[in-house]
């Protein structure tokens, strides 16, 4: 038995290799147990506190990869082996890369956690900030993984300085080839930072209208009143004239009434009063003016203006309907006739010769 244990394999005895296996297994078990205990302890702490850093830390620890634990355990176990210097150097490189990648996973999970929690809290009260933080989160994750990639390449002995310089030259060529895509990307950042509209706003763009559903890196998607989805390039969208009804705090209503030329002057002077009273009877309204505007081709025209203290379109239509019905009732009671397109033909009889 002693001869078998003393037999050498790759410059290490069988007994040393058994020690390697036992050390690796023990290290893996301890690492896995430590992960479970740390997550459980931090999760209990997070449940008792109102802070979010402990929730983010627990979320990050759950993203600890099993391959990372295996690499750490193998590295610890390898310390009992007599290995050549080149192999030992390679193992240090592997363990360093493993820590860099796992660190990237931890930080990425924490960023995603903060984004999700922030968006959930702000989506209803401040949708603009929710849109902004999504874009900021994308940039933060892009920077994070770019740094991780550079650190990995640096550990493998690649000259990162020369690589970054080469990427800068190549980036110019890529930018020229993909200028439309980059234009949409920067337009997306402009939308996020300047906030001309946010998710939920109702927009009219030319002949199209709909509610904003999603602001992406290349396109913005709207849901039209008839149900179909409208997709706009971010660059084209910013180059258009946008009417944003989501930013409307009150609605200005302008409407006209036309009465016949046969209406007596006393009744004409009462029409603005009738209109003002019809508007004042409605809730959420503010009367502005009502005037005898002009003489039309076949009618006497009145223009009236009032405000509704809500941007809701259905409320506007309900109020306008009530105002119209009330005016119609008063006109009918006072004998005032609405005008419609008519022509009067006067026939003259010529004298007999």
Distances (CA, A) of 22 to 6, 13, 19, 72: 17, 14, 5, 14
pLDDT of residue 176: 47
Strands 229-233 and 219-223, sheet pairing: antiparallel
Q: What confidence score (pLDDT) does residue 285 get?
A: 94
pLDDT for position 177: 45
Domains of the chain (ranges; CATH) run 2-176 (no CATH), 196-246 (2.30.30.60), 251-334 (3.30.70.100)
Torsion sign, CA atoms 168, 169, 171, 172: positive
pLDDT at 46: 67
The answer to whether 219 and 213 are in contact (CB under 8 A) is: no
**In this predicted structure, what is the pLDDT of residue 154?**
76
Report pLDDT for 129.
58
Q: Which two tokens stand for residue 107?
A: 């930080």
Q: What is the 3-state secondary structure (H, E, C) of 168-183?
A: HHHHHHHHHHCHHHHH
**CA angle at 300 for the pair 297 and 304, rounded to the nearest 5°:** 125
pLDDT by position in tens, the chain (length 353): 445 555 555 666 777 778 888 888 888 888 888 888 887 877 777 667 666 666 777 777 788 888 888 888 888 888 877 777 777 788 888 888 888 888 888 888 888 887 777 777 666 666 555 666 666 677 778 888 888 888 887 777 776 666 565 555 555 544 444 556 666 777 777 777 777 888 888 899 988 999 998 887 788 899 998 889 999 888 888 888 888 888 888 899 999 999 999 999 999 999 999 999 999 999 999 999 999 999 998 899 999 999 999 888 889 999 999 999 999 999 999 999 999 887 777 787 777 76
The predicted pLDDT at position 7 comes to 53
Gap between the Cα atoms of 248 and 200, Å rounded: 13
CA–CA gap between residue 148 and residue 142 (Å, rounded)? 10
CA distance 239 to 209: 16
């Amino acid at each position: 038995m002693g001869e078998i244990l003393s037999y050498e394999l790759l410059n290490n005895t069988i007994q040393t290799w058994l020690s390697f296996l036992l050390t690796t297994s023990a290290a893996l078990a301890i690492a896995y147990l430590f992960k479970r205990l740390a997550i459980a302890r931090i999760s209990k702490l997070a449940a008792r506190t109102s802070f979010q850093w402990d929730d983010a830390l627990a979320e990050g620890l759950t993203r600890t990869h099993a391959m990372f634990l295996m690499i750490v355990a193998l590295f610890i176990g390898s310390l009992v082996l007599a290995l050549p210097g080149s192999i030992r150097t390679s193992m240090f490189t592997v363990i360093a890369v493993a820590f860099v990648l796992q660190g990237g996973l931890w930080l990425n999970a924490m960023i995603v956690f903060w984004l999700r929690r922030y968006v959930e809290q702000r989506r209803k009260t401040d949708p603009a900030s929710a849109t902004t933080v999504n874009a900021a989160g994308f940039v933060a994750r892009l920077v994070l993984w770019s740094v991780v990639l550079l650190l990995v390449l640096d550990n493998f002995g690649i000259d990162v300085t020369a690589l970054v310089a080469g990427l800068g030259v190549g980036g110019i060529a890529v930018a020229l080839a993909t200028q439309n895509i980059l234009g949409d990307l920067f337009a997306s950042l402009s939308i996020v930072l300047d906030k001309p509209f946010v998710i939920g706003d109702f927009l009219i763009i030319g002949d199209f209208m709909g509610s904003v559903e999603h602001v992406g890196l290349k396109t913005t998607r709207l849901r039209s009143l008839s149900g179909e989805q409208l997709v706009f390039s971010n660059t084209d969208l910013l180059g258009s004239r946008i009417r944003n009804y989501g930013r409307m705090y009150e609605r200005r209503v302008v409407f006209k009434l036309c009465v016949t030329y046969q209406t007596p002057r006393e009744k004409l002077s009462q029409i603005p009063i009738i209109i003002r009273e019809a508007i004042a009877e409605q809730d959420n309204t503010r009367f502005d003016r009502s005037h005898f505007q002009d003489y039309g081709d076949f009618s006497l025209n009145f223009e009236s203006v009032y405000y509704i203290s809500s941007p809701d379109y259905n409320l506007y239509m309900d109020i306008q309907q009530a105002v119209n019905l009330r005016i119609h009732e008063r006109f009918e009671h006072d004998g005032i006739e609405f005008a419609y397109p008519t022509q009067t033909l006067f026939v003259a009889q010529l004298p007999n010769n």
